[in-house]
Amino acid sequence: MDESLADLMYGIEELGEARPGYDQAQTYYDGKVPEVFTSIRIRRALARHDIDFDLNFAKTPVDAVTDRLEIAAITGQDDTVTALISKIWQDNQLDLEMPDLFRRAGEYGDAYLFVLPVEDDQGNVVRVEMYYNSPQTVRVIYSEDNPRKKAYTIKRWCEGKYQRAELLYDDRIERWTTGENSDGIKPADWMHWPADPEDPESWRLDHDWNEQPVFHFRTDRPYGTPEHYGAYGPQNAITKLQQTHMGTVDYQGFPQRYALTEAANTDTSDLEPGDFADDDWPLPEKGVGPSDSGDDSSLKAGPGELMLLRGFKAVGQFDAANPSVFLDPIMFNVRAMAQITTTPLHLFDPSGEQPSGQSVRAQDAPFTRKVGNRQLSYGATLREAFSFALRRLGIEDPVVTVHWKPAETVDDSEGWQTVQAKITAGVPRRQALVEAGYRAEQVDAWLAGVDDAELQRRVDILTSLAASAQQLGSAATLGVISSDQAAALLSGTIDDLELLAQAQEEG
């Protein structure tokens, strides 16, 4: 077996071993994890009616990180390079592609961005294509002696009756295929797959890129872990509790009843079968809705009706399970999920009581650090991808900088009071604003030509504005003013401040 075929079989083996973990991650993110411990009867009833009672909290750790990963800009060493980067961005609709790429990287722990040059008839590169590929079908194989170096990349997929595969090296791309209806398990199943049917040697496409056009976004090294991996256990418990809780809801609405007979009389001949069939939710006949004829029971409620009980000395009903038996453990598991995945608890329940000010920043601190780590990792990979694209377009030694929107910024009165206190205590104003979560280039632009007195005035204005917004919100909550009135007051104040600032700049 030659070296390329050996690489192919090893890559297929690696893909096969990694695939179940990625499939599991997708299942938990999509909320399709089955509850495997429910009684056979309840499981059969739920499956028969395709009823889904799942509460999918497991996706929240993924979405929470993705929502904080916003690219502010990607720039080059000069305006020409920056304009070319902007064109690449627009040509590939990366404003749509990037959020999906980051979400998939969080969902699976790994995601791949392909960057492929497109040539014209003369062999000149006219543009580059960037698109996401799933780790379920792509895997970078790293060098044993240098785990940061890509040995090669394998991509395998099914195309009709054939299995296809590509091996991407630093100097070539190899194309492989199986025969019809082959599973591709054995080396003998694979053969060369020419790009041009008239050129048998076109299965091997040489290039001079000196690197592979695949860029690996990951939450860890060498391969990532799904952001919600720690949520699997709590989600299993939540699914179990929710399904079981829903199994008791019928007993809340339709309590199970009993009748006690005299020992000497067991005559129940006048009774019809029970109110419910063996199936928990019997399917109605096609075109027929629930019965309202009163014939479902020998006990008929209504004006002029007579309830006749023969041979029974007492009747009653069993109490249904207390809902708190299920709901309290569900909330415990949600809190456990938040702790394990380093996700703020208030992100799982945005409609509940929300912390504010310094409290929320303290709670969000570990999560903010995690987002910062993702920005470092993903930003480094983005720089590699755009540098590769720019080199293919003829830019030598490009310098690419990825600017992220802050993972957290100060936007409340308490936070601005803290910024003001830092500046008053002697912390450099630039440092205080950077620590408040604003980008360094933003701060530099704000502070250009601004002296300490002007900065102090601006901080005072922001502090007062934030305090006013908070007080107006409280007044609207109490009904003193309407929400529209509060919004109008704030909008008018902001407009006045903007006009004042504009007048000062023009003066």
What local confidence, expressed as pLDDT, does residue 29 receive?
96
Residue bearing the bigger pLDDT, 476 or 201: 201
> Per-residue confidence at 502, pLDDT binned at 50, 70, 90?
low
Are the C-beta atoms of 463 and 357 separated by less than 8 Å? no
Q: Where are the beta strands (DSSP E) in 243-392?
A: 257-261, 312-317
Residue for token digits 């991996």?
A: 229
Number of helices (H), then strands (E), in the chain: 13, 13
User: What is the arithmetic mean of pLDDT over 115-130?
Assistant: 93
Residue bearing the bigger pLDDT, 147 or 425: 147
| 248 residue type, one letter | T
**What does the pLDDT look like over 379-436, one tens digit per residue?**
999 999 999 999 999 999 999 999 998 887 665 566 667 777 777 787 787 777 766 6
What local confidence, expressed as pLDDT, does residue 59 receive?
95
> Per-residue confidence at 278, pLDDT binned at 50, 70, 90?
very low
**Measured distance CA(69)–CA(406) in Å, rounded:** 9
Residue for token digits 């909008």?
A: 491
**What does the pLDDT look like over 311-341, one tens digit per residue?**
777 777 777 778 787 788 889 999 999 999 9
Q: Measuring CA to CA, which residue among 381, 405, 343 is closest to residue 111?
A: 381
Q: Examine the pLDDT at 85 and tell me if it is beyond 50.
A: yes
User: What is the arithmetic mean of pLDDT over 26-44?
Assistant: 75
**Is the N-terminal amide bond of 222 cis, ω within 30° of 0?**
yes
Indicate the pairing of strand 125-133 with strand 138-142: unpaired
What local confidence, expressed as pLDDT, does residue 277 receive?
47
Residue bearing the bigger pLDDT, 124 or 297: 124
- Read off the pTM: 0.73
* Burial (Cβ within 10 Å: 0-12, 13-18, ≥19) of residue 424: exposed
**What does the pLDDT look like over 339-380, one tens digit per residue?**
999 999 888 875 555 566 566 667 788 999 999 999 999 999
